[in-house]
Amino acid sequence: MNPATLMEKLIAVIVQIQVDSGLDCPQLTGATKPLDNVPGFDSKVWPVATTILSMEIGAPIPDDMNIFVDETTKIPRSIDEIAASVCELLKRQAKEGATE
């Protein structure tokens, strides 16, 4: 899966969560940082968003992985950064699956 497709799916997931929660949803772009820029999008919501995204892309994302924050810097990621990170995860999973 390419980052652009993943970005589209992630934006759709975030918009749906905001609508279902009755919360405002700003215009989402690749530069949007959901944890900083989306009302009510916090540690209670990101695991749900991650699970829904995992189902949408048909690939597992580890439960303990916060795709919305950079593990090293602890800085919230933009949608572009999240898409690139999840694409890298999918590549690693595919490579690991191929070597088993």
The pLDDT value given to residue 19: 96
- pLDDT tens digits for range 73-82: 999 999 999 9
pLDDT for res 94: 87
How far is CA 96 from each of CA 6, 43, 88, 89, rounded to the nearest angstrom?
A: 21, 29, 12, 10
| Residue 50: pLDDT over 90 | yes
Distance (Å, whole) CA 78 – CA 30: 6
What are the residue boundaries of the structural domains of the chain, listed by start?
3-99
In this predicted structure, the answer to whether residue 5 has a pLDDT above a threshold of 70 is yes
Q: What is the pLDDT of residue 34?
A: 97
Q: Which CATH architecture has domain 3-99?
A: Orthogonal Bundle (1.10)
pLDDT (tens digit per residue) in 14-23: 999 999 999 9
